[in-house]
Structure 1
Amino acid sequence: MNREIRLRKNREFQTVYRRGKNFWNKDFTIFIRPTNRKKVKFGVSITKKFGKANKRNLIKRRIKEIIRLNVCDLGLGYEMVILPKKNTLEIDYIELERSLLRLINFALKKVLN
């Protein structure tokens, strides 16, 4: 994921948590906040409940790759924080991608329209 599309600072994450709307499914919770900019920014936050760092990093890498490959299809004008749930460790990449993109598209329809 490019630096331009990543949320990096704690205050950016906190703004999305406070001012954004949340949506969830069995695999993810996302917070999404519309902005006036013609940019899109994503962040991934994962708790230590997932276990050791290698497991947490695996999930983060998978999510970032899904976003990188699909960012041009996801529109502009919002910031989003993605929170995976514990069961994402057992899901293969294809199902993970399908679940995340379905949730993002649902959230974008609700928030941006």
Structure 2
Amino acid sequence: MEKKFRIRKNMEFKNIYKLGKNYWNRNLILYVKKNDLNRTRVGYTITKKIGNAVVRNRLRRKMKEIYRLNFHKIKEGYDLIFIAKRNIKDIPYKELEGSMLHIMSIAKLLKKR
């Protein structure tokens, strides 16, 4: 199993917000910044407006699982931050997965088949 690389430090998040390009759809905002590494790092932001800690953590776990299952489809060398929009707490798993894949395809992050 491949190792997952996460963005954790506040300064890294701020740097990506400032210098990265953003894409959005109904459910998510995605910030993308090219990094000088041969791996893709990912971070998740879910604000308190979406719900309490239980709701936010459940949503974060779903997003991490979708990323893990689709990791092989994503190009290397990018920093990604997924930001959940308010209406995301009510959508089913499959719709969230479709939304994440859709926003990555808009950003041209998916590998050619």
- TM-score computed with the length of structure 2 as normaliser: 0.90
Question: What 5-or-longer segments of structure 1 have no aligned partner?
Answer: none
Question: What 5-or-longer segments of structure 2 have no aligned partner?
Answer: none
Report the 3-state secondary structure (helix = DSSP H, G, I; strand = E; otherwise coil) of the residue aligned with 1:82.
strand
Measure, in 1, the Cα distance between the counterparts of 2:40 and 2:77.
6
Q: Which has the higher helix share?
A: 1
Aligned position for 1:15: 15
Measure, in 2, the Cα distance between the counterparts of 1:62 and 1:92.
10
Paired letter, 2:78: Y
Q: How does 1:26-37 map to 2 (within 5 A)?
A: 26-37=26-37
Runs of at least 4 residues off by over 4 Å:
none
Percentage identity across aligned positions? Answer: 37
- TM-score computed with the length of structure 1 as normaliser: 0.90
Report the 3-state secondary structure (helix = DSSP H, G, I; strand = E; otherwise coil) of the residue aligned with 1:108.
coil
Measure, in 1, the Cα distance between the counterparts of 2:35 and 2:9.
17
Residues 31-70 of structure 1: per-residue CA shift (max 9 Å, x gap): 0001221110000011100121000111101001111111
Aligned position for 1:83: 83
* Number of positions where the alignment pairs a residue of Structure 1 with one of Structure 2: 108
Q: How does 1:59-74 map to 2 (within 5 A)?
A: 59-74=59-74
